[in-house]
Amino acid sequence: MTHNQPPKEFLTSYNPSTNEVLGNLPISSNEQITQAVALAHQAAKAWKAAPIGDRVRRIKAAYAQIKPYAQELSELLSKEMGKDIRRARGEIEGGIFTGAYHADSAQKALANKSLGHGTELHYKALGVVAVISPWNYPVMMANNLIVPALVAGNSVILKPSEETPLIAQAFFQHLKTHLPDGVFDIVYGDGQAGETLVDSDVQLIAFTGSQAVGKRIMAKAAGNLKRLVMELGGNDAMIVMADADIEQAAGFAVASSFENAGQMCTSTERIYVDQSIAQDFEQRVVEIARQYQVGPWDQANVNIGPIINAKQHQKILSHIQDAKNKGARILLGHCEYEAPYIQPTVVADLTPDMAMSKEETFGPVVAIGRYENIDQAITQANDSNYGLGACVFGHKGVEEVALQLEAGMIGINQGPGGSGDAPWVGAKQSGFGFHGSAEGHRQFAQTVVLGK
């Protein structure tokens, strides 16, 4: 199905389930982006001069104003991104909650600190922060970067993904309306708009997206040594040890692989199972995967929504076909799904030469390999230039195995990521910097050592 293309000065948003046009937004010109950055610098002067407590109160009040619109925002997110209404509501309500939560935690992290003997740490605003956010969690992933940047006294320019501009406009326009003019602004467009923003007079670029685009941003930022916070995806590995609870491990494997139709940076992409339990594990995975239902956001009992666009849909199919060509067994599903959906798919006999092993598949596919000894499993799990999340299911020696994995977030008998104010952090080429936590909030400020 082809789209009737509007004039190139407009960004068109489509419902991925129906291909229906949801709306158009004017693409921000280079001049408009440059002007927005200039206005942001002007606004930052008064914003950073205000007491941090005043900034936090303004931010929290702005988020509170969004609450009455939660249902309509959830429906728009579902229509534009494709996730079911329950998950969309969770993201919208979570975004409102974390706006206030991050504001409070950033205020604590950025408070002046005495080191004793007349030495203090102060945290000063950097200037203007560019936030370039993804389509798979268009509110939450942007939120995690926008709020601490504002609390630190910076102005912020958001460039949302061209796949989900309407929900970004609807949600963050509320925020913009309740903050001083110029302190927060939004620009729209594709990669060209992002490049213009990166090239502009910003002091920090906070980007969440693909590894390839992240590398281009890093190269562009080098000229002026602009600061970077980058989350560049993952190819998360899961190890299932011989003494693991098969029911628990299989349930997690399916849920993590299928969450958000697999379009999640910490989705489980590669599973390595001790050969002594592999057959039982694979059988249980297939039984659980069969229970998942595929369909549009407003269909009852849907677990898996559409794939965001035709290009991504084709990539997933190519990964399944590549695995089959290289000897994989397809235990559930096949290689020829019609867009925009991918039915629950389970692939066994994963090997290192398959595309699924090397790249993010980013679709609802459970990919399973086997190992003979735990050292082999660790080697396979670490055989990736990504290192966002990982997990290990088992009991005896499980922590020792977990600590040998090369990832920023590792779960033992659970998914990656910690509780409370733990940072969201990757290793290797999954990026650098943090989302959340005191360390993450301080990235948005210049640390000053004051001796007196």
Q: Which domains does the chain have, with CATH numbers?
A: 10-233+428-451 (3.40.605.10), 236-383+389-420 (3.40.309.10)
User: Which residues are marked as active site?
Assistant: 231, 265
Report the run of H or E that residue 204 belongs to, with start and end. strand 204-208
- Do you know the residue count of the chain? 452
**Which pairs with CB-CB distance under 8 Å and at least 24 residues apart come from 166-169?**
166/13, 166/22, 166/23, 166/25, 166/76, 166/80, 167/73, 167/76, 167/77, 167/80, 167/81, 167/138, 167/139, 168/133, 168/138, 168/139, 168/142, 169/25
Question: What is the distance between the alpha carbons of residues 133 and 112, in angstroms, rounded to a whole number?
Answer: 30
pTM to 2 decimals? 0.96
Question: What is the distance between the alpha carbons of residues 200 and 178, in angstroms, rounded to a whole number?
Answer: 25
Rounded CA Rg of the chain: 22
Return per-residue pLDDT of the chain as tens, 452 residues: 344 554 468 999 999 999 999 999 999 999 999 999 999 999 999 999 999 999 999 999 999 999 999 999 999 999 999 999 999 999 999 999 999 999 999 999 999 999 999 999 999 999 999 999 999 999 999 999 999 999 999 999 999 999 999 999 999 999 999 999 999 999 999 999 999 999 999 999 999 999 999 999 999 999 999 999 999 999 999 999 999 999 999 999 999 999 999 999 999 999 999 999 999 999 999 999 999 999 999 999 999 999 999 999 999 999 999 999 999 999 999 999 999 999 999 999 999 999 999 999 999 999 999 999 999 999 999 999 999 999 999 999 999 999 999 999 999 999 998 887 899 999 999 999 999 999 999 999 999 999 99
